[in-house]
């Protein structure tokens, strides 16, 4: 049987960065708005709010997804990881460290989405070459144009830290 409701809020459970949240939400709340406005996890950014820029990228059950196009209630039971959940006990995720090492940002607005997307890319394991990294990161737009360094950072982590910037280009 369906759980039909005319009620304004729907009870759901989400595990966000390892913490269980029991929530009651109107169905029109997007995952991005839930994170930013209700849970004050403002790392994921609202850039275009229409799935074109990638700044809102988070990991849902390990998959990178645009959180601006997800109704939060439709992901009841999911495990969400945001940029705030990547570091481990104060130690940066290798991609976070690589982004700093390679100066892979300027204004930083797209960076949380870029890094979450890159975590998803590594997990998917379909990118080997530089070309494939660039193609598979095309859902993340950087207005500052830090793409070369972003690809350097990802390539270094992908190849186990063995690639120098010169070799990457």
Partner 1 sequence: MNRFDYVRANSVADAIAALAGSPNSKFLAGGTNLVDLMKYDVARPSRIVDINRLPLKEINETVAGGLRIGALATNSDVAWNPQVAKRYPLLSSAILAGASAQLRNAATTGGNLLQRTRCYYFYDSSTHCNKRLPGSGCGAIGGVNRIHAILGSSDACIAVHPSDMCVALAALDAEVEVEGPKGKRLIPFALFHRLPDQTPEQDNTLELGELITAVVLPAGDFGPHHTYIKIRDRLSYAFALISVAAALKTEDGIISEVRLAMGGVAHKPWRDRALEEVLRGKPPTEANFAGFARDFLRKAQGRGQNDFKIELGRRTIVRALMQAARGTPQNQSDKVVR
Q: At 22, give phi and psi (nearest 5°).
A: -95, 120
Instruction: Count the residues of the shown chain that bind partner 1, applying the rule CB under 8 A.
Output: 41
Burial letters for 43-79: b for 16+ Cβ neighbours within 10 Å, e otherwise?
bbbbbebeeebbbbbbbbeeebbbbbebebbebeebb
Q: Which stretch binds partner 1 (CB under 8 A): 16-24, 57-65, 86-94, 96-104?
A: 57-65
Q: Which stretch binds partner 1 (CB under 8 A): 37-45, 90-98, 132-140, 150-158?
A: 132-140
Contact 158, 122 (CB under 8 A): yes
Contact 120, 59 (CB under 8 A): yes
Q: How far is the CB of 70 from partner 1 (least distance, A)?
A: 6
Q: How far is the CB of 1 from partner 1 (least distance, A)?
A: 7
Residues in contact with partner 1 by the rule CB under 8 A: 1-6, 10, 26-28, 30, 49-51, 54, 57, 63-66, 69-71, 73-74, 76, 117, 120-121, 124, 126, 129, 131-132, 134-140
């Amino acid at each position: 049987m369906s759980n039909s409701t005319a009620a304004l809020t729907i009870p759901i459970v989400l595990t966000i960065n390892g913490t269980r949240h029991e929530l009651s939400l109107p169905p029109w709340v997007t995952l991005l708005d839930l994170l930013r406005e209700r849970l004050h996890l403002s790392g994921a950014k609202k850039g275009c709010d229409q799935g074109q820029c990638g700044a809102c990228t988070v990991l849902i059950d390990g998959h990178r997804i645009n959180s601006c196009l997800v109704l939060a209630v439709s992901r009841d039971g999911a495990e969400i990881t945001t940029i705030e959940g990547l570091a481990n006990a104060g130690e940066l995720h290798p991609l976070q460290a690589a982004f700093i090492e390679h100066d892979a940002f300027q204004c930083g607005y797209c960076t949380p989405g870029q890094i979450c997307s890159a975590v998803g890319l590594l997990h998917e394991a379909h990118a080997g070459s530089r070309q494939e990294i660039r193609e598979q990161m095309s859902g993340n737009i950087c207005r500052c144009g830090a793409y070369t360094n972003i690809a350097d950072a990802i390539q270094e982590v992908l190849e186990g830290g063995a690639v120098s910037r010169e070799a990457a280009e």
